[in-house]
């Protein structure tokens, strides 16, 4: 499925992570911001831990097995 550390960009990747409860890690630049499960997403945001992260401002990384 997804490898640990794989960058997420596409809607279908966020949908897979949401459907299968695969955790993601969120970075702002090089700084860790959060880790959790995708609750919802759109073309503009990804909701994790009840926080909306702008897809243009943050980097999303797959963390299966976390």
Give all domains of the chain, ordered by start, each with its CATH number.
6-62 (2.30.30)
Does residue 47 have a pLDDT over 80?
A: yes
61 exposure class (CB count in 10 Å sphere: 0-12, 13-18, 19+): middle
Q: List residues bridging with 14 in a β-sheet.
A: none
Does residue 1 have a pLDDT over 80?
A: no
- Band of residue 65 on the pLDDT scale cut at 50, 70, 90: confident
**Is this structure's pTM higher than 0.85?**
yes
Q: Report the side by side order of strands in the sheet with 24-28.
A: 7-8, 59-62, 24-28, 31-36
pLDDT in tens, 13-36: 999 999 999 999 999 999 999 999
Neighbour tally for 37: CB within 10 Å = 14
Cβ(39)–Cβ(47) under 8 Å? yes
């Amino acid at each position: 499925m997804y490898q640990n550390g794989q960058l997420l960009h596409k809607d279908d990747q966020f949908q897979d992570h949401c459907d299968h409860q695969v955790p993601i890690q969120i970075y702002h630049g090089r700084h860790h911001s959060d880790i959790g499960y995708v609750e919802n997403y759109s073309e503009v945001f990804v909701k994790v831990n009840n926080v909306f992260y702008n897809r243009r401002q943050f980097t999303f990384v797959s963390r299966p097995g976390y």
